[in-house]
Structure 1
Amino acid sequence: MPLSATDARHLRVSLQGAVVKLSERCLYQSSKWAAELLNALPDIPPTRPDLAPAPGIGGYLHPVFAPNNDAREAAMEASEFDRYLLAKAFFENKEFDRCAAVFLPETLLSGITSTKQAEATTSKGKGKAVHFSSDPLLPGISQRSLFLALYAKVISGEKTKDEDSEMIMGPQDLGTVVNKQLLMVSRFLERWFTERKSGQNNLPPSQGFLEYLYGMVLAKEKNEDAALGYLLESVHIFPWNWGCWLEITNLVARVEQLNKIIPRLPQNIMTFIFYTNTAINLYQQGQSLADSLNDLLNIFPTSSFLLTCKALLNYHSKDLIAAEQDFNHILALHPHRLDSLDHYSNILYVLNQRPKLAFLAHLCSSIDKFRPESCVVIGNYYSLLSLHEKAVQYFRRALTLDRSCLSAWTLMGHEYVELKNTHAAIESYRRAIDVNRRDYRAWYGLGQTYEVLEMHAYALWYYKKAAGLRPWDGKMWQAVGSCLQKMGRDKDGIKALKRALLADTYYDSTASSAGTIDRMAQMDPEVLLQIASMYERLDNEEETKAYMELCVAQEFGGNNNDATGLGDSVSIHQDSSGVGSDTEGEGANRGGGGGGHEGTGVTVATSKARMWLARFAMRTEDYETANRLATELCQDGVEVEEAKALIREARSRMEINSDNYDGMPS
């Protein structure tokens, strides 16, 4: 539902203020995000244009440029304005250490660090209380300047970390280089918050940015619970910092955790946007999520971020055609925007649309060839041409520009698999998981790689991790079932493959609660054939026959009972392989559709199933059925010679039976 004119104006002013405040603190990505969202708001003309004061006339001052509400903070910001401009200029010129030194000289920082080290040595790890009475005093500067200085230190540490790291995937690239500035920044902020929480001094209220910085530092130090507390505190104070919301998203591993966090968040539109984005990152699907996204698009109809979320929702739902159309729309609205185009290139790769992928690679290269997204797009193009060495070269280039580029790590793993370099593939996938443990593609890739090495126990563990992240993706459960089959665990394999059928099949709520798959639904013949083969090894001929018939029925869309004699339904047990069972839900209504499918037509799997049924009919002396099935096999063009032999044998048996019948006394 669109906002009222009054709410839209309040939202516009809030976003304008957010852009200014974020830019003042050099949080450029968050500032860009807020500015894009601001310009996605439809224009609302003033109700009385003749009464609207022009900026700078008659003493009018836009609320965005009003001084700080707190008098003490405003006074400090005014007194240090010259130094602040100098520090900001240093930051913008990427002289981060000079920027920090304007407000926080090295002597001050080293003093605080050495004091904390002495305290740690004295306490000897016994958890004694720490007193700051003898510590050096913290500098009396504004929160804006303090944030800029400490943030510059963090960025300086990241820059040094990248410089000290070895060549991507080189012999010494172990991924163990750390940001050496995090410890100092963490100790400084610990002091700052300890003094604030002690209540001894009458300090001005917090602005929320130092909470964000401390939470970000704690997250990098793997102290996730404390980090989440500070990040939640930050979004309560200043909810327009999108970088803070992204840090919270990175700490959310499962949907259950997201649902627990939601009540602790402020009730505003940013929480709504955060929930939608995080749910999509957790591969959630369903009509409710799509409706939420559409509600946001009614407010921000041209938002590139929200349109990208819609495209990714379709992408994760395997609706690649709709996802491609969404990205085409984004590219038409924002032709110079490179964000998330790596996902678009993945879609074009899967759809095998080489001309479009070539155009996209050329476009990205002409806009900025040194953006990680551009390198990933070009790498995907070379991969589609089967030039895997060149693809690896561009993925490595993307990682040289940004070592946290998730797509590049995962795709480079795929390329190494193609090049039969399993060691490098495993390392690439592991590094992708280090960047984002929610990336099911990396877990699945590790499973595939270990399966190639015939290390099925390892492969099964990684496949289960992937299935836990994507519980309604039939491909994940099919991999689990196939791996169990190779390990000789047929009963468990059958359960996993039945779950794969449930994942990829549209069924109504009645069938879901009953644990059955409707015969009218479209299913994968390969999976049905695998299940039937495992039942055959378990000597369960009845179930084997049922699934072989169901496999053949898929040629006609799963609804040709006359041809197969299939019963009303095939029971699917509700038990699972123990992974992801607590994440079932919204994805259940995605998959193969209902009875409107045209069927798969003849496939190798259905022909094998038909051959088994023909042999079974011969064993049970149903020679007419055997003759019909074998005749169909001859028309399929699969196993023709064996089918002809079956036809000859079935007809001879039918003739013998006919002669015996004729010779019987009346």
Structure 2
Amino acid sequence: MPLSSHEVAQLRIALQDAVVKCSERCLYQSAKWAAELLNAVPEPADGEEEADDPEPGKHTSPIFAPNQDAGEAALEAKELSRYLLAKSLFDCKEYDRCAAVFLPDSLLSTVLDSRLEKPLATPKGKGKSRATDEPSLSAVPLPKLSQKSLFLALYAKFISGEKRKNEESEMVMGPQDLGTVVNKQLLTVGRFLAAWFEERTTDDDEVVGSQGWLEYLYGMVLAKEKNDEKALEFLIRSVHKYPMNWGCWLEMTSLISRVEDQSAGLANSLDQLLSIFPTSSFLLTCNALLAYHAKDLMTAEQHFSRLLSLHPHRLDSLDHYSNILYVLNLRPKLAFLAHLCSSVDKFRPESCVVIGNYYSLLSMHEKAVGYFRRALTLDRSCLSAWTLMGHEYVELKNTHAAIESYRRAVDVNRRDYRAWYGLGQTYEMLEMHTYSLWYYKKAAGLRPWDGKMWMAVGSCLQKMGRERDGIKALKRALLADAYYDVGSSFGSGGDLLGARGATGQMDPEILLQIATMYDQLGEEEEAKAYMELCVAQEDGGPAAAGNLSESVRIHNDSPGGSEGYHERDDNHAEGNAEGTGVTAATSKARMWLAKFAMRTADYTTANQLAAELCQDGVEVEEAKALVREVRSRLEASGMLASAG
């Protein structure tokens, strides 16, 4: 639904306000996000905005707009000189000096030490402000500062701790790099904020006069301390009070443990936003990533290519673009992208990941590891670098380093299903199938309805001698692929072949594996049915769907799966009705059927299948031997003439 000119004007004012307020608090990424979005709003035609303005001629920039809270406005005016000094010091990356302008260490230690004897309580109920309940006579009062200055001082303290944490950390993946170094300022910042909120929180859990920024900072501190539930509570409070702080939304997404499936609703919402912000680099990136995560890599590549032509100096999310180019094996484009990123800023983590992917595509895995480590030296929370470095260590057969890389990726983001899947594959290489199965299932819970994950689970269960469970997992893999193709929603159930009928094709590898497991269980009729279904995938069409709907009922008693071994899996093509043609799997199935026909004295069928195998070029020698055996038996039974 298009916005009116008045609504567009209000939106523009809100974004301008967000740029200014985030910049004042040195939240540079949030300010950049708001500024990019602001400049994607189409400019009004001459005279159009004035016609809608209730007070023509009166335009006030948000830079000069006073704080709506009179008390806060008075404090900000009083602190202006010190605030400008602190802001300048922060911009020059002198974080400790910035914090000391408003909160010198001596004052902080005095204030916090005086509160150590009386722990902060959080009683529930209704009544007066907690600040008036049983005041502690020994507690030194908190300094009277505006929320803007207090945020800047405490945020500088937080960033100072992060900087020192990085300086004290060992070389990435070095012998002493245990990932255990912590931000030592978290305790100080967290205790001060807890005292501030305690002082202002009423018994009905309202914070008197709060503007939402300190809730955001406290939420970040709590998240770093792994107190996810309380962190999420404060971050939600923050966005309720000031919803235009993009960094707060990002923090919230990192704490959400379960992500719902992508749906048409998400794409529709994105289209509506693009109608309002048609040139927004952020929304165009979201569009590309939506296609990428839906495994439509060609569309994702086109979106990223257009984005790059519109914003050639923007490096955000280009590491994902390099993954797509890697999977599609577009080496010239990946080389160009690596050169472009290097020329714009070779010391951005995204640039290092892009270059690492390029070297990986050239099978120069040691160099690729070097660039992924450089990305992590610049930003230890660079998720894609940890995961991709794990993949490179797998290529180098260094399973210990691969496991450590994947574990560190999971520490950064527990929703990174690729890292969980990588752990599963690495432990499977070590033949530790119990561990492998556990990690595969973790990935499955994060990536519902992606068949490759369930294929891995099924294979793992087969190796553990649990064929029945393995068959169930592989059937789910078939259903998962069907749901991806026809767009069915998670958990709606139904039978596999009804869902698959829209595309007329299933993965012959999975069908062969199910058939093989039925054969190992001695259930030849079920095995034969799946072998026939596997062979039918060569031509596609109705035959590929078969008539096995009763035997392929899928139970709705477990989550879906994850896609294959990281972004570099090239099996991304969608199913189609043309069939797969002859594959190694279909040839093996045809050989099994031919031998089954021999065992059951169906020599005519065995002869036909063996003759087809001779033309396949896959199992030729064994097929020729089978043809000779069939002919000898036909001669013995006098049926050769009719078979010929």
TM-score of the pair, normalised by structure 2: 0.90
Deviates more, 1:129-138 or 1:485-494: 129-138
Report the Cα distance in structure 1 between the residues aligned to 2:179 and 2:625, rounded to whole angstroms: 62
Report the Cα distance in structure 2 between the residues aligned to 1:401 and 1:422, rounded to whole angstroms: 25
Report the Cα distance in structure 2 between the residues aligned to 1:580 and 1:545, rounded to whole angstroms: 27
Q: Cα distance, 1:71 vs. partner?
A: 1.8
Aligned: 1:345 with 2:322: yes
Aligned: 1:212 with 2:216: yes
Report the equivalent of 1:420: 397
Aligned structure 1 segments of 4 or more residues deviating by more than 6 angstroms? 49-53, 508-512, 591-594, 659-662
Report the equivalent of 1:273: none
Report the equivalent of 1:170: 174
Closer, same or farther in 2 for the Cα pair 1:199/1:481, shift >3 Å? closer
Report the Cα distance in structure 2 between the residues aligned to 1:148 and 1:508, rounded to whole angstroms: 47
Q: Cα distance, 1:242 vs. partner?
A: 0.4
Closer, same or farther in 2 for the Cα pair 1:370/1:63, shift >3 Å? closer
Q: Deviations over 1:576-601 (max 9, x none)?
A: 674459xxxxxxxxx9867x521111
For the 8 Å contact 2:480–2:560, the answer to whether it is kept is no
Deviates more, 1:191-200 or 1:27-36: 191-200
Report the equivalent of 1:647: 627
Report the equivalent of 1:32: 32
Give the CA RMSD over aligned residues: 2.8
Aligned: 1:77 with 2:76: yes
Q: Cα distance, 1:121 vs. partner?
A: 12
Q: Aligned letter for 1:370?
A: F
Structure 1 regions of 5+ residues with no counterpart?
A: 123-128, 256-278, 582-590
For the 8 Å contact 2:493–2:555, the answer to whether it is kept is no
Q: Aligned letter for 2:442?
A: K
Match of 1:523 among 502, 506, 512: 506
Match of 1:549 among 516, 523, 532: 532
For the 8 Å contact 2:338–2:355, the answer to whether it is kept is yes
Report the equivalent of 2:618: 638
Closer, same or farther in 2 for the Cα pair 1:107/1:463, shift >3 Å? same
Report the equivalent of 2:10: 10
Q: Aligned letter for 2:505?
A: Q
Report the Cα distance in structure 2 between the residues aligned to 1:51 and 1:626, rounded to whole angstroms: 84
For the 8 Å contact 1:388–1:419, the answer to whether it is kept is yes
Would you say how many aligned residue pairs link Structure 1 and Structure 2? Answer: 614
Q: Deviations over 1:369-425 (max 9, x none)?
A: 000000000000001111111000000000000000000000000001111111100
Report the equivalent of 1:272: none
Report the Cα distance in structure 2 between the residues aligned to 1:660 and 1:313, rounded to whole angstroms: 60
Match of 2:186 among 162, 176, 182: 182
Aligned: 1:246 with 2:250: yes
Report the equivalent of 2:19: 19
Closer, same or farther in 2 for the Cα pair 1:223/1:322, shift >3 Å? same
Q: Cα distance, 1:248 vs. partner?
A: 1.0
Alignment of 1:282-361 (within 5 A): 284-361=261-338
Report the equivalent of 2:564: none
For the 8 Å contact 1:523–1:592, the answer to whether it is kept is no
Q: Cα distance, 1:287 vs. partner?
A: 1.7
Report the equivalent of 1:403: 380
Larger RCO (alpha carbons 8 Å, 6+ apart) = 2
Report the Cα distance in structure 1 between the residues aligned to 2:346 and 2:115, rounded to whole angstroms: 45
Q: Cα distance, 1:661 vs. partner?
A: 11
Report the Cα distance in structure 1 between the residues aligned to 2:49 and 2:476, rounded to whole angstroms: 63
Deviates more, 1:299-308 or 1:171-180: 299-308
Q: Secondary structure at the match of 1:517?
A: helix
Report the equivalent of 1:114: 113
For the 8 Å contact 1:495–1:576, the answer to whether it is kept is no
For the 8 Å contact 1:116–1:187, the answer to whether it is kept is no
Q: Percent identity between the aligned chains?
A: 69
Report the equivalent of 1:160: 164
Q: Cα distance, 1:285 vs. partner?
A: 2.1
Q: Aligned letter for 1:435?
A: V
Q: Cα distance, 1:119 vs. partner?
A: 3.4
Aligned: 1:446 with 2:426: no
Q: Deviations over 1:240-261 (max 9, x none)?
A: 0001111111111114xxxxxx
Q: Deviations over 1:341-393 (max 9, x none)?
A: 00000111111111111100000000000000000000000011111110000
Closer, same or farther in 2 for the Cα pair 1:311/1:649, shift >3 Å? same
Report the Cα distance in structure 1 between the residues aligned to 2:407 and 2:109, rounded to whole angstroms: 36
Aligned: 1:136 with 2:119: no
Match of 1:536 among 519, 531, 537: 519
Report the equivalent of 2:457: 480
TM-score of the pair, normalised by structure 1: 0.87
Match of 1:623 among 584, 597, 603: 603
Q: Deviations over 1:261-286 (max 9, x none)?
A: xxxxxxxxxxxxxxxxxx6xxxx223
For the 8 Å contact 2:120–2:195, the answer to whether it is kept is no
For the 8 Å contact 1:550–1:558, the answer to whether it is kept is no
Q: Cα distance, 1:478 vs. partner?
A: 0.5
Report the Cα distance in structure 2 between the residues aligned to 1:497 and 1:411, rounded to whole angstroms: 27
For the 8 Å contact 2:99–2:154, the answer to whether it is kept is yes
Report the Cα distance in structure 2 between the residues aligned to 1:410 and 1:304, rounded to whole angstroms: 26
Report the Cα distance in structure 1 between the residues aligned to 2:203 and 2:592, rounded to whole angstroms: 80
For the 8 Å contact 1:46–1:52, the answer to whether it is kept is no
Q: Cα distance, 1:303 vs. partner?
A: 1.2
Alignment of 1:471-620 (within 5 A): 471-505=448-482, 506=485, 513-518=493-498, 520=501, 521-557=504-540, 559-560=542-543, 566-567=546-547, 569=549, 571-575=551-555, 578-580=558-560, 596-620=576-600
For the 8 Å contact 1:496–1:577, the answer to whether it is kept is no
For the 8 Å contact 1:293–1:310, the answer to whether it is kept is yes
Q: Deviations over 1:572-631 (max 9, x none)?
A: 2323674459xxxxxxxxx9867x521111111110000011111112222121111111
Q: Aligned letter for 2:41?
A: L
